[in-house]
Amino acid sequence: MPTFGRDRIRRFWNDVSARKKLAARDYEAFLMTIIPAYEGLLPLADEENVMDLLFELANWHALAKLRAHHEITLDNLGSATRHLYAAMRQFDTEVCPNYDTRETPSEAQARVRRDQARDPDKAADTGTKAKPFNVLNTYKYHVLGDYCEYIKRCGTSDNWTTQVVSISHYLGV
């Protein structure tokens, strides 16, 4: 993907999925460019679900990141949250069962090292284990529904995010 200026979307790495400790700006850059990158990679039915999910994620993120909210934008964010929840559930039930997702080799090696550190006498399972889609079981997913109310009580996310500080360090301010 081409870059879009120094402070917008920077060059991607060779293997985005292998990146660890990503910052919020990295996810934002992925969301802004991932739809054309995924186009045509999956069977049509799966691609439609994935594209819908990616659009809902990008839409929700854009609304949540606004620096000034009004009643209308908060209503839109609430609606976008409901659409995102529906898209996530649809992705989980219709797309995920079609794919056997597994640990990467580095994840499998790390798991083997952890298991052997816990119990050195136990035989290590060196194969890669299945890694199902588990986002629906995470705290972060369930908290998305509270975001509108939090903005009403505490203000927009630019009041409590660390992104402004990290950008100033990046720009050398």
Mean pLDDT, residues 102-128 taken together: 86
DSSP string, 54-83: HHHHHHHHHHHT-SS--HHHHHHHHHHHHH
Mean pLDDT of the chain: 81
Which residues are within 8 A (CB) of 161 and not within 5 positions of it... i.e. 6 or more apart? 24
Q: Report which listed range, 37-46, 89-98, 131-140, is most confident.
A: 89-98
pLDDT at 96: 94
What phi and psi values does residue 128 have, to the nearest 5 degrees?
A: -80, 135
SS3 130: strand
- The residue ranking higher by pLDDT, 134 or 1, is 134
- The residue ranking higher by pLDDT, 80 or 21, is 80
Tell me the pLDDT band of 120, cut-offs 50, 70 and 90: confident
pLDDT tens digit sequence for 19-65? 666 666 677 777 777 888 788 889 999 999 999 999 999 999 889 88
Per cent of the chain over pLDDT 90 is 37
Tell me the pLDDT band of 150, cut-offs 50, 70 and 90: confident
- What is the residue whose two structure tokens read 């209308």? 72
Q: Report which listed range, 29-38, 85-94, 136-145, is most confident.
A: 85-94
Q: How far apart are CA 98 and CA 119, in angstroms?
A: 35
- pTM for the full predicted model: 0.73
- The residue ranking higher by pLDDT, 142 or 34, is 142
Q: Cα dist. 125→105, 107, 116 in Å?
A: 13, 13, 10
Q: Answer yes or no: is pLDDT of 80 > 90.
A: yes
pLDDT at 153: 84
